[in-house]
Structure 1
């Protein structure tokens, strides 16, 4: 995937004292790539999960993401 912009925020610290916290990162990401052009939101997210691979099974517990193409991202600035 060719990235134009990538931001990641780690919110794991908010969950450390939760009784249900079993480890793993809680992350929020903004991912900008023209590879998302003409893809539905679900297909965009699937493309990211494919790139992440096994990290979602072990290291990452939760991932919230915004997936945008360049023109969409420029409108948010």
Structure 2
């Protein structure tokens, strides 16, 4: 599994999301910014991303460092 594959899976499940994924084929780092996260706890945000990856997370992705933000949180973070 490649970083671009993970990005596409997340974007398919969260079409409004801005997704960045980096990695080496075994270990990945993903940042996901989505308005759909506004009313969700961080645990629920992460669960929605894991759901997008489905069984691939258990079988093909060995490690994923996940960072989720609402657009407002992201805007504050990058200022």
Q: Is the TM value for this pair above 0.5? A: yes
| Paired positions, count | 65
TM-score (norm 1): 0.75
3-state SS of 1:8 partner: strand
| TM-score (normalizing by structure 2) | 0.74
* Structure of higher CA gyration radius: 1
Which has a greater percent of strand? 1
Off by >3 Å, runs of 4+ in structure 1:
none
Q: Which runs of 5+ in 2 are unaligned?
A: 1-13
Cα distance in 1, alignment partners of residues 76 and 24 from structure 2:
26
CA contact (8 A) 1:2 1:34 kept: no
Of structures 1 and 2, the one with the larger relative CO (CA 8 A, separation 6+) is 1
What are structure 1's unaligned runs of at least 5 residues? 13-24
